[in-house]
Amino acid sequence: MSSYYQPEIETMPRDGLQALQLERLKALVAYVYERIPFYREAFDAAGVKPSDINALDDLSKLPFTAKQDLRDAYPFKMFAVGRDDVVRIHASSGTTGNATVVGYTQNDLKNWGDCFGRFLVAAGATTESVVQVAYGYGLFTGGLGAHQGAEAVGCTVVPMSSGNTKRQVQFMKDFDTDILCCTPSYALLIADTALEEGFTPATDFKISAAVLGAEPCSEGMRQEIQTKLGLKMLDIYGLSEVMGPGVACECGCQKGLHVCEDHFIVEIVDPDTLEPVPDGTWGEAVFTTLTKECSPLIRYRTRDITRIIEGTCECGRSFRRIDRITGRTDDMLIIRGVNVFPSQIEEVITKFDEITAQYQIVLSSKGPLDHVELLVETVPEYPFDEVRRLEALRKRLAAELKSNLQVSIEVRIVEPKTIVRSEGKAKRILDLRERG
């Protein structure tokens, strides 16, 4: 198999790619204006018509779409096709209001599989590969997205879903799994479980790569996963509203996530002013879907913080790259006036050999102020009963956090296996604050 899954697209010269994007953007704007009342009203309110879109820069004339817009359209008001053309529906959990519902036509599913498949090939997948999918299946898009990508490439798929971790480990060994797809926190749990079961994955398993996503992952956690499992980890990005996993992913160079620009336009904007920021500047990722038939989106605000990586990649792909997600604007903590993302805390923690990458941030009320406590746990072999040594470790970690984040955080070290492991997305923040 070629080193690229779709080289005619992935290595297309920039001028050809931009011409394709413009052609698809013009068709998209006319499509949503005709078929989705929300967009017709939004465009009219902004004083813009489909005929006003004649260059890629004209995208900035169009209004943004927010998650609340999708909730307000529950369940199917944002669909651009009739029910007879909808072959699948995914939705968010809806724990803070109506669920956000997205639909897919048969062609939408094909494009999704192609996008994910490109990155499995980037991870080394061939028709002889065994891909174990340990993302959750169901309304969450992770499991089925990875599954479709593996089938598009012609791999053998093991649809494990998340959970039953000991069996995950046993099947990885017995089935000669060579690519794992799941969240970073679950990959770490799989690695730790394999070691506890007496395996040495780097030598006992055939696995060579992991395509991990759905949550931020620090470089420290990446290195721990790679070392324990003896593989190369590629960070994949996507969100249900835009498509699912496969919107962007790292190649083997691990120097940024290539956006599938034939299907999506990415913008980076200042989250406060919503003005575009220069390449290389951190901001909020905004996506426009160019080929979705059922649930197309114009300038969707993801709340994810990243930046455009300047220059070209050594791999030869011409798609622009975004940096790995550092966090979400709605996950950002403001601690005594300082903005802090959980991923920044994780980056510090992973530098300590005495501490595992498992942690939890507990928010509570202490008088009129918010109180922040960081729970971390020691590795199993650490002498937890040596009180002075433990206190010295706590002070070192607190000092390193203050040095890196410019703010003091209360640290509590707990015994191994105290913090609950997740078999899906890790629950890093426990909010116990009283709401008035």
Query: What are the contacts of 273-276 at 24+ separation with CB within 8 A?
Result: 274/64, 276/60
pLDDT of residue 429: 85
Q: Are residues 200 and 250 located together in one domain of the fold?
A: yes
Q: Are residues 377 and 281 in the same domain?
A: no
Whether 165 and 79 map to the same domain: the answer is yes
Which backbone phi and psi does 258 adopt, to 5 degrees?
-75, 125
Determine, yes or no, domain membership for 436: no
Mean residue pLDDT across the chain: 93
Residue 396 lies in a domain: yes
For 173-187, what is each residue's pLDDT tens digit? 999 999 999 999 999
Q: How buried is residue 104: exposed, middle or buried, by Cβ count under 10 Å (0-12/13-18/19+)?
A: buried
Given 328, 361, 376, the domain boundary residue is: 328
- Does the pLDDT value for residue 376 go beyond 50? yes
157-210 pLDDT per residue, tens: 999 999 999 999 999 999 999 999 999 999 999 999 999 999 999 999 999 999
Same domain, residue pair 38 and 169: yes
Does 318 share its domain with 177? yes
Give mean pLDDT, residues 378-402.
Answer: 93
**Whether residue 94 has pLDDT greater than 70:** no
Q: Are residues 302 and 350 in the same domain?
A: no
323, 356: one domain:
no
Among 244-253, 367-376, 403-412, whose mean pLDDT is lowest?
Answer: 367-376
Residue 291 in domain: yes
- Using pLDDT thresholds of 50, 70 and 90, give the confidence band for residue 363: confident
Q: What is the Cα–Cα distance from 144 to 243, expressed in whole angstroms?
A: 11
What integer pLDDT is reported at residue 2 of this predicted model?
47
Domain count, the chain: 2
334 pLDDT above the threshold of 80: no
User: Domain of 126: which CATH number?
Assistant: 3.40.50.12780
Does 307 map to a domain? yes
Whether residue 146 lies inside any domain: the answer is yes
Boundary of a domain, candidates 278, 298, 328: 328
Q: How confident is the model at residue 352 (pLDDT cuts 50, 70, 90)?
A: very high
Domain that holds residue 87: 1-328
Contact 401, 411 (CB under 8 A): yes
Residues 6+ apart with CB under 8 A from 267: 59, 276, 285, 286, 287, 288, 299
Q: Are residues 321 and 350 in the same domain?
A: no
Please identify, among 274, 294, 328, the residue that sits at the C-terminal boundary of a domain.
328
Task: Tell me the whole-structure pTM to 2 decimals.
Answer: 0.86
> Quick one: 353 and 323 in the same domain?
no
Per-residue HEC secondary structure of 111-177 comes to HHHHHHHHHHHHCCCCCCCEEEECCCCCCCHHHHHHHHHHHHHCCEEECCCCCCHHHHHHHHHHCCC
Residue with the two structure tokens 């290195």: 223
pLDDT number for residue 226 = 97
Contact indicator for 189, 165 with CB cutoff of 8 Å: yes
For residues 267 and 178, membership in a common domain is answered with yes
Predicted confidence (pLDDT) at residue 413 exceeds the cutoff of 50: yes
**Whether residue 308 sits in one domain with residue 179:** yes
- What pLDDT score was predicted for residue 434? 65
**How confident is residue 331, by pLDDT bands cut at 50, 70 and 90?**
confident
Mean pLDDT of 79-89: 98
Q: Are residues 142 and 212 in the same domain?
A: yes
What gap in Å lies between CA 151 and CA 406, rounded to an integer? Answer: 47
Does pLDDT of 21 surpass 50? yes
